[in-house]
């Protein structure tokens, strides 16, 4: 078949909502777009383990410690599914990790903010995982089969993460005045960075057009951000807390809230590598990677021995 015919088959699959699978023909730009998004997503999962992992030893009860430990392990698993999905597009894990460790690759801006108190761990589960689910539910129906299937499992686990965060923040919000103040302080610091997770406004999102055309994304950054605000404001009200946005107002006509935009200059600065924690996060990842070298070497040596064992 010539390229035009391959393109026709590809377009027909998209039109029928069929998945594109690793061995199918796909336009080179589609492949590159997915490698970019899926690898960034994988990096976000494993960098996301750092701010939370930092609190495992300081969790206020054995139960809280167990739950947080399980959540952080899940994030490592999400990274694994996503790196594997990206590998099926023809990039090696070494290339992806090298891009992360040298600072060439992006990962979610949210993980460049510090976790100052235990309430921040509740806020991450509640807001950050809540925003992640809002985005990832649509990615379960992404056109690339391995990405879509990875997202189905990830979403199930993210729902548990969101519940653990909401439970933790509820405990604080209905606790002593000092605990409630901690919950409010965490909300104040995480609200706008969470809104940035959905990406730049549609008017400044260069990748959205292709992502929508190829059904990699099904909704735009602004649509998802709006839905997140609509859903979360009700939770904030239930908790007796206040959204740190004096322009937040219900808009009857659009059946949604009007709200202030995040500071997009701050966002650009963070994704350029100049956020509060960018350097610390990369240093931690590099340290973990070099300290894990012996594990990779052992696994590789074991893998090489397998054929001999089978022959014997």
Residues that bind ligand BYC (CB under 6 A): 36-37, 40-41, 44-45, 48, 75, 106, 108-109, 128-129, 132, 135, 196-200, 205-208, 211, 221, 271
Residue 29 to residues 34, 89, 137, 232, Cα–Cα distance (Å)? 8, 12, 24, 36
Quote the least distance from Cβ 40 to ligand BYC, whole Å.
Answer: 6
**Residues 52/64, Cβ–Cβ less than 8 Å:** no
CB of residue 234 to ligand BYC, shortest distance in Å: 21
Complex with ligand BYC: residue 40 or 226, whichever CB lies closer: 40
Give the E-state strand segments of the chain in sequence order: 249-251, 256-258
Q: Looking up tokens 């690759």, which residue turns up? A: 105
CB-wise, 205 or 286, nearer to ligand BYC?
205
Whole-number Å distance between alpha carbons of 178 and 3: 65
- Least distance from ligand BYC to the Cβ atom of residue 128, Å: 5
Report yes or no: 63 and 244 within 8 Å, Cβ to Cβ: no
Nearer to ligand BYC, 164 or 184 (CB): 164
Using CB positions, name the residue nearest to ligand BYC: 48
Helices marked H in the chain: 3-15, 28-53, 62-87, 93-101, 118-123, 129-139, 145-173, 177-196, 208-213, 221-239, 264-269, 278-291, 293-311
DSSP, res 108: -
Q: What are the beta bridge partners of residue 144?
A: 20
- Least CB distance to ligand BYC at residue 271 (A): 4
* Nearest to 22, CA basis, from 86, 80, 108: 86
Nearer Cβ to ligand BYC (123/197): 197
Find the shortest distance in angstroms from Cβ 273 to ligand BYC. 11
Please say which residue, 14 or 155, places its beta carbon nearer to ligand BYC: 155
- Least distance CB 280 / ligand BYC (angstroms): 16
| CA gap 236, 239 in Å, rounded | 5
| Min dist. Cβ of residue 300 to ligand BYC (A) | 27
Question: In the complex with ligand BYC, which residue's Cβ is closer, 149 or 180?
Answer: 149
Residues 82 and 296: their CA atoms lie apart, in Å, by 19
Helix (H, G, I), strand (E, B) or coil at 144: strand
Q: Which is nearer to ligand BYC, 180 or 227 (CB)?
A: 227
Residue 82: how many other CB atoms lie within 10 Å:
26
């Amino acid at each position: 078949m010539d390229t035009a015919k391959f393109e026709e088959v590809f377009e027909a699959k998209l039109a029928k909502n069929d998945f594109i699978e690793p061995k199918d023909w796909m336009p080179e730009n589609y492949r590159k777009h997915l490698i970019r998004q899926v690898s960034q997503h994988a990096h976000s999962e494993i960098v996301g383990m750092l701010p939370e992992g930092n609190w495992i030893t300081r969790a206020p009860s054995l139960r809280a410690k167990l739950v947080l430990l399980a959540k952080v392990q899940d994030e490592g698993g999400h990274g694994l599914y996503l790196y594997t999905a990206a590998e099926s597009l023809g990039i090696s894990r070494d290339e992806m990790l090298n891009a992360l460790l040298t600072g060439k690759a992006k990962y979610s801006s949210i993980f460049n903010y510090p976790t100052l108190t235990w309430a921040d761990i509740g806020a991450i589960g509640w807001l950050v995982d809540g925003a992640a689910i809002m985005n990832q539910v649509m990615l379960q129906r992404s056109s690339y089969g391995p990405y879509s299937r990875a997202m189905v499992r990830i979403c199930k686990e993210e729902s548990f993460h969101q519940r653990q965060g909401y439970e933790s923040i509820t405990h604080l919000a209905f606790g002593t005045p000092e605990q409630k103040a901690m919950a409010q302080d965490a909300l104040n610091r995480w609200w706008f960075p969470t809104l940035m997770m959905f990406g730049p406004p549609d008017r400044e999102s260069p990748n959205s057009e292709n992502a929508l055309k190829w059904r990699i994304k099904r909704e735009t950054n602004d649509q998802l951000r709006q839905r997140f605000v609509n859903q979360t404001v009700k939770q904030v009200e239930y908790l007796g807390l206040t959204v740190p946005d004096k322009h937040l107002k219900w808009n009857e006509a659009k059946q949604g809230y009007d709200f202030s935009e995040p500071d997009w200059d701050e966002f650009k600065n963070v994704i350029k590598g100049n956020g509060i924690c960018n350097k610390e996060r990369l240093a931690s990842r590099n340290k973990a990677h070099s300290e894990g070298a012996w594990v990779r070497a052992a696994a590789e040596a074991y893998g090489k021995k397998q054929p001999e064992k089978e022959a014997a």
